[in-house]
Structure 1
Amino acid sequence: MSKIKLIATTAMGLESVAKRELLNLGYRDFEVENGKITLKGDFKDICYLNLWLRTVARIKWEIGTFEATSFDELFEKTKALPWAEILPEDAEFPVVGKSVKSQLHSVPDCQAIVKKAIVENLKASYNTSWFEEKGPFYKIEVALHKDQATLSIDTTGRGLHIRGYRYYHSEAPLKETLAAAMIYLTNWTPDKPFVDPFCGSGTLPIEAAMIGQNIAPGFNRDFISEQWPNIDRTLWDRARQEVEDVADYDRVLDITGHDIDHRMIELSTSNAQEVGLHDVIRFKQMQVTDFNTQTSSGYMVGNPPYGERMNERKQVAELYQQMGKVLNDYPTWSFYFLTSHPDFETLFGRQASKKRKLFNGTIETHYYQFFGKKSPKS
């Protein structure tokens, strides 16, 4: 099989960041849509994209897309796809689904019909009437949108936000993919200081360190498609060797994480140790209002408390006001904060240079970006 179609899914609002990632990785021929980017590639790209993309949720292999306004049409067009070229005889292939603004709105029925169609196709191809499904795992998805059906197979397994270093996390953890996007949306470069004053389980500092040392986000985990006979094992071996070859583990970085809770500092330190970055990042118990630095410029990126609960609102409002007063003493630093609080700018005491709507899970937030003035030349 030569060229295949791949789908890189993203959280809402991160499409342009993922597009920039693909461009930086050398990809040019792709289409950006809401929540996904589609591109042509091959099996080598399944390995490469899973290992390297920081802001994407997962990589899917698109098998076919067609119009389906009846169950018969869905069955026949699914059955006509080349499943025997994709699924080995012993494959385990559950079918999941979703339907948006389509006549075929019953997802369980669509899943059952797709499963039956694939089985009928494989029966004819393998000349058997029973499949034990004890072999490699292929999760098939039928996605219906405005009567267009897309059949795809997940190549990732656990979502790409699971890097393999965060076994323990805070109560409301920031997804690694969103943390990476927050960093990419700054102008931070690895030669500049990076501070997270609300580090929680350490996600932002760890993601910054991995970006700074060019460590692939997927280096510390496995992927479901590594078990597929379709993909030659040497492709995965080469991709992982390249990851190791280009990592700059000796690059010195100035990255710190602060939190008012000593338990979060212990948690962050443990997670940094898991990924091998405990000597790269400094964690310290400290509140943001005690921030003090002699460095002329740097980047502060944080996910402060939002005040979603009624009993926290006054406390959070006071925190934002204090932050604004303290950080106002550092005009050449740049500050980036993610929060759902509608009055953040007013409380912080100044208007953001730029703000962007992002979703932290299901919570609609804004990413407030305050650009620092240029430092005077020495």
Structure 2
Amino acid sequence: MSKLELIATAAMGLESLVAKEVRDLGYECQVENGRITYKGDELAIARSNLWLRTADRVKIKAGEFKAYTFDELFEKTKSIPWEQFLPENAEFPVSGKSQKSKLFSVSDCQSIVKKAIVERLRKAYKKTSWLEENGPLFKIEVSLLKDVATLTIDTSGSGLHKRGYRVDQGEAPLKETLAAALVMLTNWTPERPFADLFCGSGTIPIEAALIGQNIAPGFNREFVSESWDWMPDTVWEQARNEAEDMAKYDQPLDITGSDIDHRLVKIAAENAFEAGLGDLVNFKQMRVQDFAVKKDYGVIVSNPPYGERLGEKNAVEQMYKEMGKVLGALDTWSVYIMTSNEQFEQFYGRPATKKRKLFNGFIRTDFYQYWGKRPPRRSE
């Protein structure tokens, strides 16, 4: 299949980052709310799944059309050449969602799409009996928005945030895709020191190390489309060899993660080890008030507690004040903090250079950016 229409889905607020990643892979793209669309072949599917750090999933757009009635949904779904994607024994569950559309019953839309695909496949494969559905998995979604139905096939399987290195996690783990986004929104380069003072299970420092050594985030996992017969093994082999060639395993890194909870520090170290980065990231138990450093021009990226639970608010706000005292003295360091606390700047003691609205799951947060002095330019 020479040119497929692909969709990389993105969390709210991360679309521009995902679009940049898609363009960096060499594909022109269009940016919409929650999705980036672009054209590509089988290799594009493999490369996108392996490389997109901030996208949620990579999907194939099988069709898109206006649908005001169930008949229309059925007939237009049936007219899509599903046999190009799905073998005779494909297992194809259909999920759905509907917003601002006349066809608002999601369960009805799902069953109509399912029936239409079954009818199309039975005709294409000259089947008079039931379809077995004991073969490879093709997860289909019907998404209705303002009466436009978009039918997609998921190529990823588990969401792309599941990198395969998380052995264990804390209570409120940060998604790997968002952690990567936080690092990519900073001015950090692999030559500079990097620290996370609230590392939890280690996600931000691990993602920084993967970025620092240009390691493809999907190198350690499998994808559902690897089982599809029209996605040849050679395509995945080529994409993985390319990723291996582009990794900079000899790039030295100075990355530290610390947390007050010794149990989380142990989990973080195990996760880093599982990611193959055991000796690259240093984890230690430490209070933020004890952070001291002799190096210059470093970058701190942290997702501290927000103080949203009853009884935690005062302690968290006091900790923000102490953080401001400690980090405010580091004039060559850049500090990036994500929190939902709208008075953060007040407690920290100074206004941010820049703020960016982000969502941590369903929690609206701000990414407060305090830029330090620029490192002197090296003479050539």
> Shorter-chain TM-score: what band?
over 0.9
Q: 1:356 is matched with which residue?
A: 356
Q: 1:270 is matched with which residue?
A: 270
- Inter-partner Cα distance in structure 1 for 2:193 and 2:347: 26
- Inter-partner Cα distance in structure 2 for 1:167 and 1:61: 30
Q: 1:114 is matched with which residue?
A: 113
Q: 1:22 is matched with which residue?
A: 22
Following superposition, the deviation at residue 276 of structure 1 comes to 1.0
- Inter-partner Cα distance in structure 1 for 2:377 and 2:146: 57
- Inter-partner Cα distance in structure 2 for 1:74 and 1:377: 60
Following superposition, the deviation at residue 25 of structure 1 comes to 2.3
Q: Structure 1 pair 376/244, CA: closer, same or farther in 2 (3 Å)?
A: closer
Query: What is the SS of the residue equivalent to 1:206?
Result: helix
- Inter-partner Cα distance in structure 1 for 2:377 and 2:251: 25
Q: 2:325 is matched with which residue?
A: 325
Query: What is the SS of the residue equivalent to 1:252?
Result: coil
Query: What is the SS of the residue equivalent to 1:311?
Result: coil
Unaligned runs of 5+ in 1: none
Following superposition, the deviation at residue 26 of structure 1 comes to 2.3
Give TM-score scaled by structure 1 length.
Answer: 0.98
Matching residue's letter, 1:8: A
Q: 1:58 is matched with which residue?
A: 57
- Inter-partner Cα distance in structure 1 for 2:235 and 2:373: 47
Aligned residue runs from structure 1 range 74-85, under 5 A: 74-85=73-84
Q: 1:70 is matched with which residue?
A: 69
Query: What is the SS of the residue equivalent to 2:97?
Result: strand
Query: What is the SS of the residue equivalent to 1:104?
Result: coil
Query: What is the SS of the residue equivalent to 1:310?
Result: coil
Paired residue total: 377
Following superposition, the deviation at residue 313 of structure 1 comes to 0.3
The question of 1:101 aligning with 2:87 is answered no
Q: Which moved more, 1:97-106 or 1:120-129?
A: 120-129
Following superposition, the deviation at residue 262 of structure 1 comes to 0.6
Write out per-residue CA displacement over residues 70-107 of structure 1, whole angstroms, 9 at most, x where no aligned residue. Answer: 00000000001101121100100010000010000000
- Inter-partner Cα distance in structure 1 for 2:98 and 2:327: 47
Contact 2:167 2:267 in 1 (8 A): no
Q: 1:205 is matched with which residue?
A: 205
The question of 1:307 aligning with 2:286 is answered no
Aligned residue runs from structure 1 range 92-241, under 5 A: 92-128=91-127, 129-241=129-241
- Inter-partner Cα distance in structure 2 for 1:273 and 1:184: 22
- Inter-partner Cα distance in structure 2 for 1:22 and 1:375: 30
- Inter-partner Cα distance in structure 2 for 1:101 and 1:144: 8
Q: Structure 1 pair 167/377, CA: closer, same or farther in 2 (3 Å)?
A: closer
Give TM-score scaled by structure 2 length.
Answer: 0.98
Write out per-residue CA displacement over residues 118-165 of structure 1, whole angstroms, 9 at most, x where no aligned residue. Answer: 011111111113111000000010000000001110000000000000
Q: 1:347 is matched with which residue?
A: 347
Matching residue's letter, 1:227: S
- Inter-partner Cα distance in structure 1 for 2:374 and 2:58: 40
- Inter-partner Cα distance in structure 1 for 2:314 and 2:188: 32
Following superposition, the deviation at residue 311 of structure 1 comes to 0.5
**RMSD over equivalenced CA pairs, Å:** 1.1
- Inter-partner Cα distance in structure 2 for 1:89 and 1:373: 62
Following superposition, the deviation at residue 296 of structure 1 comes to 1.7
Matching residue's letter, 2:338: L
- Inter-partner Cα distance in structure 2 for 1:329 and 1:123: 70
- Inter-partner Cα distance in structure 1 for 2:200 and 2:366: 19
- Inter-partner Cα distance in structure 2 for 1:230 and 1:67: 29
Q: Structure 1 pair 375/49, CA: closer, same or farther in 2 (3 Å)?
A: closer
Write out per-residue CA displacement over residues 254-277 of structure 1, whole angstroms, 9 at most, x where no aligned residue. Answer: 000000111011000000110111
Following superposition, the deviation at residue 376 of structure 1 comes to 6.6
Following superposition, the deviation at residue 167 of structure 1 comes to 2.2
Write out per-residue CA displacement over residues 36-68 of structure 1, whole angstroms, 9 at most, x where no aligned residue. Answer: 000011111000000000000000000000000
Contact 2:170 2:201 in 1 (8 A): yes
Following superposition, the deviation at residue 348 of structure 1 comes to 0.2
Unaligned runs of 5+ in 2: none
Matching residue's letter, 1:21: E
Query: What is the SS of the residue equivalent to 2:311?
Result: helix
Matching residue's letter, 2:42: F
Query: What is the SS of the residue equivalent to 2:166?
Result: coil
- Inter-partner Cα distance in structure 2 for 1:91 and 1:283: 46
